[in-house]
Structure 1
Amino acid sequence: MRPHRLVTPGTLLTWHRRLARWTWRQPPGRSGRPPLPEGIVALTLRLAEENPTWGYVRIQGELRRPGHRVAATTIRRVLRRSGLPPAPQRTSQHTWHTFLRTHAHTLLTCDFMHMDTVFLKRLYVLFVVETKTRRVHVLGITTHPTGEWVAQLARILLIDLEDRARCFRFLIRDRDAKFTAALDAVFAGNDTTVIPTPPQRPRSNAFTEQWIHTAHAECTDRLLITAERHLRTALSEYAEHYNTG
C-alpha cells in the first residue's frame, strides 16, 4: 500500500501546522507613534514660519490650545524634515519680514514715480506711504528733483503730521541718489531711523511699489496728462479717494 500513498503522515502534519498558523495569525503590530495628521503638520509649520522666535516647547504649548497634544521632539522632527532650523537660526532667516510686520505701525516708506505728459515731458512724483494704514501722501511733483527739494518736502510732511510724526520710528527708502544725507538728517531730527533697502531689491519696498502700480492702473494710465498742474490735481484727487476708500 505504501507505493500508493500520495503524501506521508509527516507531510499532512506539516500542512496542518501551517494551516493553523495561517488561521490564527495576527497582523503585525505597528511599532512607534502614529504619524501626525497632515492638518497638525501644516499648523506646526505655519506657527514656526510666522513666529520665528518660538522654540519647540512654545509651539507645543500653542498646539495644546486647540487640543493637539504633540511632543516637542515630534515638533523638532517635523520642522527639521521641512528644512526649518531651531528658533535662533529661524529668526535670522526672517529678519526683514518680521521687522516689517512687527513695526508696521511705526513705518513710513517713500519713493518716486514718474509720468510722461502728452508732450513727452517727464514729471517726477515724490510720495510717502504710512505702512500700517496704507495712507498715501503725495508730497510734490517736479521735472528736476534734487536732494534739497526732497529734504524740504520731508520737513513739510513732518509739520503736516503734527503730533503723529513722533509715532513713526523708521523710514524705508531705496538708494536713489536724490535721497541724500539731508533727507536722513530731517528724519533724524524727528528720531526717525532711515533704513535704505538692499541694492536692486525693489520688493524690499513693496508698499510703495504697490501704490505706484495701483496709481498708474486706476488713474494716470487713463488720462493724457498735459502739464505738471494737471498731474498734481489728478493725483491729489486720486490720493484722497484712495485714502478714504
Structure 2
Amino acid sequence: MQFASIVTPDRILYWHRKLVALKYTAKRKIQTDREKEMDTIREFCIKFAEENVSWGYGRIQGALSNFGYEVSETTVGNILRAAGIPPAEDRMKKSTWKQFVRSHMATMCVADFLTTEVWTLHGLVRYSRMNFARPWKHQE
C-alpha cells in the first residue's frame, strides 16, 4: 500500500520542538517602578507566609512596613491567595511540600525527575515522572 506524504517525520519533530519552545518562552516587557516594587512586595509576602506559618495578614503587613513598603491587609491577602497560600489558621494545620523539602534538605541526596511533552486532544501537556518505579503522571 502506498500513500502520499505531505510532510516528513523530521518536519513534524521540528514543529513539535518549536511548539514546546514557544510554550515556555515568556515575552519580555518593560516594568515600571511600581510594578518592580510590587514584585518585591509579592516575594516578601510569600516568603514571610511560608517561613512563619503563624503570621496572619496584619503581621505580614507590619513586617512589610518595617521594610518601608506600605500596603493594606487586603493586598497581602490577595497576594497570598493568588499564590495559593491559605490564611494563617489553615497554614498552621499542615505543612506544604516546599516546607517538607526545606526541613529535610540536609538528608536528601538525589531524585530522578523526567518530563516530556505529549500531544493530547487538549493540546500540548507536560507529563512527569519522579523515578523509574512510578508511572508517568500528568502535570498541569
- TM-score tier after normalising by the smaller chain length: 0.3 to 0.5
Q: Provide the TM-score with structure 2 as the length reference.
A: 0.44
User: Normalised by the size of structure 1, how large is the TM-score?
Assistant: 0.26
More helix by share: 1
